[in-house]
Amino acid sequence: DADQTDNENENASNNGNGEEAASEYNSSEATHVIEAGIGLNNQHPQYHGLLRFKEIVESETDGDVYVETYHSSQLGDDRQMMEALQLGSQEVTIPSTAPIANFVEQYAILDFPFLFPDEEIAMDVLNGDIGDQLLDALEDQEMVGLAWWENGYRDLTNSVQAVATAEDFQGLTIRTMENEVHLAAFQELGANPTPMAFGELFTAMQQGTVDGQENPLATIYLEGFYEVQDHYSDTNHVYSPFVFLMSKQFYDQLPDDYQEIVRNAAQEAGEYQIEENRKQNNELLDALVDEGVEYTEVTPEAREEMAEIVQPVNERFAEQIDPDFAEEVYSAIEEAQQN
Ligand code: TK8
């Protein structure tokens, strides 16, 4: 009945329509309220993972910790949400690592093009000593890194031309994330990179401010980029992790048992997110082509050529940021490869 529906919506997270985030708990009865915001929309596995986090935390604290979920940059872009975590005015966000490099520069090494040979190796490294060091480094920035989630391998779309080889990047205006390595790598390929917050991207493509962008297939499809892009190439040029971040101010005042609950919930919800995300990234190509996007296959040889062109960028930044840590990352990747 209508009244029942209204009540459910009141108890739901503020997600624009309320339906998916319906909760049996109520924020007014909770001791701790987590405002959690992400940049992607509510179709993306990142949001489904966040809903899983909400479910786990609320049920394990019997509603004493309540999670309000926001998507589509409703609370701001990745950088703004991290700043809000530092101030303690927002509790959770799940950015890509690229913008985190503006807070902790070692993160830039994770975003080197063609660094991780596959997703399993990336996750091995992130869940090992390298990943732990990077999560620990966030504490000085008033943030706590609770778990590694996954955005995935990034691919190129544009509205100008089919991109099959490195030469085809020439002259394309491409939106990049706000990250020095990405900027330098696309410059090296002869493109005109334009750093921009994710929330401004769709309009920028629609208005022709940029010719193209690069993101994993799940994002390209689920954000409807096919409406404003004509070409897709599986460049796989960089692996992009997500980090589940909590405000340190908020985390520190939680009782120990609640700290453990949020930590485990971020991990468990992350496992679900990663599984869903890989499925989408692997399965959405046909759907994208059905929407009228032309698919250009990038051969391993073409990818190898791209990797050679951007290699000097990786070397330059490794030297500039932290050569020892870069070496540690390379060894950890080699070790993971042997397992
Ligand atoms: C969402 C972003 C996005 C990232 C980007 O907040 O900016 O292109 O891939 O998913 O983190």
pLDDT at residue 204, as a whole number: 98
SS3 category, 279: helix
Output the residue whose Cα is nearest ligand 1's atom 1. Answer: 39
Tokens matching residue 307: 């990797």
C-alpha angle with apex 164: 161 to 169, nearest 5 degrees? 60
Q: Domain span at residue 45?
A: 2-338
Cα separations in angstroms, 139 against 26, 111, 136, 208, 240: 30, 21, 6, 40, 21
Centre of ligand 1 from the C-alpha of residue 253, in Å: 29
Average model confidence (pLDDT) across the chain: 94
Q: Does residue 8 register a pLDDT over 50?
A: no
pLDDT of the residue at 131: 98
Q: What is the pLDDT of residues 294-337, one digit of tens each?
A: 999 999 999 999 999 999 999 999 999 999 999 999 999 999 99
Residue 78 CA to residue 29 CA, distance in Å, equals 30
**Residue 339 confidence (pLDDT):** 83
Distance from chain centroid for Cα 56:
21
Distances (CA, A) of 308 to 199, 233, 304, 334: 32, 18, 6, 19
Task: State in Å: Cα 148 to ligand 1 middle.
Answer: 15
Q: How many domains does the chain have?
A: 1
pLDDT category at 23 given cuts 50, 70, 90 is confident
- 175 SS3 class: strand
- Model ipTM over 0.85: yes
Q: Distance, CA 151 to ligand 1 centroid (Å)?
A: 8
* 83, pLDDT greater than 50: yes
Distance 21 CA to ligand 1 centre (A): 22
CA 125 to chain centre: 17
The pLDDT of residue 21 is: 65
∠ CA 153-157-159, nearest 5°, is: 175
Q: Which of 155, 225, 240 to mutate to test the pocket of ligand 1 (most atoms within 8 A of CB)?
A: 240
What digits encode the pLDDT tens for the residues 129-181?
A: 999 999 999 999 999 999 999 999 999 999 999 999 999 999 999 999 999 99
Give the pair of three-digit tokens for residue 285. Answer: 């190509």
Q: What number does the ligand 1 atom closest to the CA of 95 have?
A: 11
Give residues (CB < 6 A) around ligand 1.
38-40, 78, 95-96, 151, 177, 198, 215, 219, 240
Is the model's pLDDT at 263 over the cut of 50?
A: yes
Task: Give me the CATH number covering residue 50.
Answer: 3.40.190.170
Average of per-residue pLDDT across 13-34: 74
Q: How confident is the model at residue 9 (pLDDT cuts 50, 70, 90)?
A: very low
Closest residue to atom 11 of ligand 1, CA basis: 96
User: What is the C-alpha to C-alpha distance for residues 230 and 216, in angstroms, rounded to an integer?
Assistant: 16
Please tell me the predicted confidence (pLDDT) of residue 22: 73
- Distance (Å) from CA 328 to ligand 1 centroid: 26
H or E segment to which residue 2 belongs: helix 2-11
